[in-house]
Structure 1
Amino acid sequence: MTSLYSKRLKQLVLGLSLIGMAWQVSAQTRVNDAWVRATVAGQHSTGAFMTLQADTDSKLLNVQSPIAKTVQIHQMSMKDDVMRMGQVESVALRAGEPVSLDPNGYHIMLMDLTAQVAEGSKVPLTLTVENAKGEKETIKVEAQARSLGAMDHSKMDHSKMQ
């Protein structure tokens, strides 16, 4: 009876440790405030934006979405008063440091859209992040479509309003 109990206890410990490892993998990179710029009829591309924070040194390798035939990671920069935008292979994510993907820097381009992105709709994105050990993590995100002029009221302090 003792050996059966011992065997069951070992199985339970192994099972719990595997669950713990799965949780650690899923918790490596956090995505906050993911949104996509809404489009108008006939518009063929748009941008996706968010803040990423990895627990360990990592890099964003690629992004996929069923609403776009082509998805690329881009970087916006200014050189000699000329705005430039181009594709990059990855975005470095330093351990514990938030990295903002926004309209003025790194961002995700969704091109050859399969349909209009309506304000308020949810856009599925799948991010692939690789850590320094070469381990890849897949993160599924539902990004809210917002209009370009929409203000983000979540960061406003409403407590002092009269």
Structure 2
Amino acid sequence: MNPVLEVQDLSQDFGGLRALNELSLTVNSGEIVALIGPNGAGKTTFFNCVTGIYTPTEGKMFLYDREGSPKLLNGKKPHVITAMGMARTFQNIRLFSDMTVLENVMIGRHCRTRAGILGAVMRDGRTRREEQESIDASYALLELVRLQDMWNETARNLPYGA
């Protein structure tokens, strides 16, 4: 199996408190991995380190690209790590309640688009094509989770369990 994420001897200190102590793990392609533990065990601290929210005290973290080459995560900003292909979600979801289900998914894909402010204002062909690609990819994600029939429903009208 090929690694996707590799963490080596990760430690995180907050003043005199060590929240993570030499944690090492490898997540391979195709694996589903869970990190479990009681409150205060360091789970959120771990995720904050690998997603660039915290800079770890010690250790190295690597995200492997599609070709299998390791890319060092240490010192990278969260938006850079997201662009590399790894992002996190939070337990408390925040939907844009006045927007449609499809539009909410499209916002989640924003980090995959390139059009800037000028493109949004000028609406050139490239920007329109990129927007259509985002619509198509977002709809495909809705199909994957069987919510395609709700694509045009405003988010506030959906139960959280939908």
Q: TM-score, normalised by structure 1?
A: 0.25
Q: TM-score, normalised by structure 2?
A: 0.25
Q: Name which one, 1 or 2, has greater alpha-carbon Rg.
A: 1
Would you tell me which structure has more helix in proportion to its own residues?
Answer: 2
Q: For CA contacts below 8 A with separation 6 or more, give which structure has more relative contact order.
A: 1
Would you tell me which structure has more strand in proportion to its own residues?
Answer: 1
